[in-house]
Structure 1
Amino acid sequence: MARKKKKLFAAADGTALDVIISSPESAISGVILVYPCIGGTSRMYMVPHGELTARGYTVVEFHPRAHGRSEGQMAMASSLKDLYYLLFSTGLSEYPITAVAHSAGCNALLQVNLSALHLEKVFFVQPVFNFAESMEYMYEIGTDREFLDAISRWTSDREQLEKYLYSKRWLEPAVWYRDRLRQKINAISVNLKLGDFLEDFYIPGFETIDHIHRMRDRLVFYLSTVDRWYPVSTTRQAADTFNIPVVFMENAKDHFHQGCWNDIWNDILDRIR
C-alpha cells in the first residue's frame, strides 16, 4: 500500500510548491520523477502510484512555480533550483531517478546537471526542445490562439494581450525590447508576471536538442502523429540523429496525449521491470 502525500513543500526561499509524493511501505529502490508541461499539472497524467510504489519506487510529482497549486513566478532557473532543493533536502537525490516529462518539462530536464542527479531512465512525452521554435510553428500553422487561450488566465485584458502578440514578431529580441513588451504585458497581468514569463522562456528559447547526447543511452520518446504545438518532424529527426527509441501513440490526437496516458504508463512499467 502506497503512502500518498499531497502537500505544499517550502522551497529554499519559502515559496510554497505543490508536490505529490507517494512512498512504498518497504525499502526504496528508486525514484519516479514526474515533470509537467508549462503551466500544467501532473494530475492529468494518471500516474499509477500503486503499481510504482509496489515496485519500491517513491513517486514525486513536481510542480514548478505557478504550476498546479505551486505559488511564485514561473522561470526556468528557479524551476531547476527548486527541483534540486526538493530532491536533496528530502534525501531522494541519493537514489537512481527515472524521469517522466511532458512537453516543456522535457526541455527543463535536458538542462539538469547529470553529475548532481543520477537519471537512470528518462521518458519524454511530446518534447519541446525550443520554446521560440514552438511559438513560430504555432503561428505558421495557425494554432497560436491555443497558446493565447492557455495563458489568458494570467491577464486581465485578453484583447490587449492579443494585440501585443498578434504576430510572431514579438519573438524577435529587438522587437521585444524596443517595444517594452515585458513591461506592457506585466501591466495587464494577474497572479503571474506574464511579461516576465514570456521573456524568460520565449526570448532565449532554450535550445536543448544539442543536450540530448548527454542522456541518449537512457531516453525514450512518446509521440503523437500530429502536434499543433511543436513539429513532430523536428523530434523525429532528433530521434534519428541520436538513435533514440520512439513509441508512436496512434490514438494520441494532440500534444497532450489525452486518453493515452494509461498506455504510456503501461509501456514505461514494462521498460522499468
Structure 2
Amino acid sequence: MSLEIIESGASPEKARGILVIWPSTGGNARSFRIRDSELETLGLRLIRFNPPSHGNSKGIYDPKAAILLLDDYLKERGYTNKELYGIGHSGGGAALMMYANLVPFQKLFLLSPILDSVLSLRFLYESGSIEEFSRLLLLPGSSDEEKPNKQILETLSNPQWLEDGNVSHLNVPIQNSRIRLDDLSLFLKNLFLPGFVVDTSVIQKRTNYTIFLPKVDKWFPKEYTISFAKENGLNCIEIPEAPDHFFSSSWLMIWKQIKKIGF
C-alpha cells in the first residue's frame, strides 16, 4: 500500500502547530488550496492526508484503519507534540472527530460531517438522491446496462442491502475521476455494514469544534447536525453561498471563516 500525504507550509522545526486536512470519502486533500505564505505566517505545517483509495493513495478504505495510519505518521515525526488542528469534510470530518478522541486537537473545523454513515445512506434514499451516490461508484466508459455498472445501480437502487449485507457480488475495482477503490464490496462493508456513529462520547472538552453547513445538503440531514451541535455546545455556522454537501466553489469562503475564528 502506498500512502499519499503531502506536507507544506512552515518547516517542521519552525511550525508551532500542525494542520491536518482529511477530505470527504472518495475526495482528494489536494483540492483544499491554501497558500504556503499564509501557513508560514500562521506558523502552521499543513498535512494533506489522502487515506487509502483517496487521491494517489492505494489500498482499501476503512475509517478506523485510516485513523491509525494517520496517527502513526504524525507520531513518527513528532507532530503530535505540537498544537494540532484539523479540517475535515463529510466522512473525513467524522473520522477527524473520532481521531480527536485519541489525541488532543486544539480546534476542529468540520464541513458537513457525516455523524452517522447509515443515516446518511437512508437520508439519500428518503430524499430520492441515492443515484447521486451510486453514480460516484460507477466504472467510466461502461454503460448502465453493462457489468459492473448494471449490478451496482440495481443493488444500490433500494436499501435492502443495508439490511441483508448482500454486496459480495460487487467485489470489483472501481476507478473514476471521483473515487478509486480496489474492491467496491469491501468499501461498502467497511463504511455501512454496520457503519459508524459519532456520538456525544467522542466529544472532548479540550477541543473547540466548529461545524460548517451548506444551504442545501442531500447527503446528511442538517437538522440532525444542528441538534447534535446544540446538545454538545459546538459552534455551527451555515454558509448560504455554499450550494451543496460538497461546498462547490465555496472553499475560499470557508477558509476565510476559519482564519477569522483563528488557530
Alignment map for 1:97-136 (pairs within 5 Å): 97-112=84-99, 114-115=101-102, 117-136=103-122
Greater RCO (Cα-Cα under 8 Å, separation 6 or more):
2
Q: Name which of 183, 190, 194 aligns with 1:200.
A: 190
Contact 2:139 2:148 in 1 (8 A): no
Taking only aligned residues, the RMSD between alpha carbons, in angstroms, comes to 1.9
2:157 corresponds in structure 1 to: 166
1:92 corresponds in structure 2 to: 79
Q: Name which of 26, 32, 36 aligns with 2:19.
A: 32
Aligned in 2, Cα 1:21/1:217: closer, same or farther, shift over 3 Å? closer
- Give the drift of 1:142: 0.7
> Aligned letter for 2:170?
I
Alignment map for 1:132-151 (pairs within 5 Å): 132-151=118-137
User: Helix, strand or coil for the counterpart of 1:110?
Assistant: helix
1:67-121 deviations in Å (ceiling 9; x for gaps): 0110111112320111011101122111111101000011112222645x22011
- Note if 1:80 corresponds to 2:67: yes
1:126-180 deviations in Å (ceiling 9; x for gaps): 11111110010001111101111112149951111111222012111xx11xxxx
Query: Which has more helix, going by share of residues?
Result: 1
- Give the drift of 1:33: 0.6
- Percent identity between matched residues is 25
Alignment map for 1:112-261 (pairs within 5 Å): 112=99, 114-115=101-102, 117-153=103-139, 157-172=148-163, 175-176=164-165, 181-186=166-171, 188-190=172-174, 191-215=181-205, 217-261=207-251
Distance in 2 between residues matched to 1:79 and 1:29, nearest whole Å: 25
Aligned in 2, Cα 1:98/1:19: closer, same or farther, shift over 3 Å? same
Distance in 2 between residues matched to 1:215 and 1:82, nearest whole Å: 25
Distance in 2 between residues matched to 1:216 and 1:231, nearest whole Å: 27
Distance in 2 between residues matched to 1:111 and 1:229, nearest whole Å: 20
- Give the drift of 1:268: 1.1
Distance in 1 between residues matched to 2:23 and 2:205, nearest whole Å: 19
1:176-234 deviations in Å (ceiling 9; x for gaps): 1xxxx332110x43451111110111012201132453258510111112101111111
Contact 1:20 1:60 in 2 (8 A): yes
Distance in 1 between residues matched to 2:151 and 2:119, nearest whole Å: 24
Aligned in 2, Cα 1:125/1:211: closer, same or farther, shift over 3 Å? farther
Distance in 2 between residues matched to 1:48 and 1:171, nearest whole Å: 42
Q: Count the aligned residue pairs.
A: 251
Contact 2:105 2:207 in 1 (8 A): no
Contact 1:216 1:243 in 2 (8 A): no
Distance in 2 between residues matched to 1:91 and 1:270, nearest whole Å: 28
- Segments of structure 1 that go 5 or more residues without pairing to the other structure are 1-14
Distance in 1 between residues matched to 2:228 and 2:55, nearest whole Å: 30
> Aligned letter for 2:63?
M
Distance in 2 between residues matched to 1:104 and 1:113, nearest whole Å: 14
Aligned in 2, Cα 1:158/1:59: closer, same or farther, shift over 3 Å? same
User: Helix, strand or coil for the counterpart of 1:111?
Assistant: helix
Aligned in 2, Cα 1:76/1:217: closer, same or farther, shift over 3 Å? closer
Using structure 1 for the length normalisation, give the TM-score.
0.86
> Aligned letter for 2:151?
Q
Contact 2:218 2:245 in 1 (8 A): yes
Contact 1:53 1:59 in 2 (8 A): no
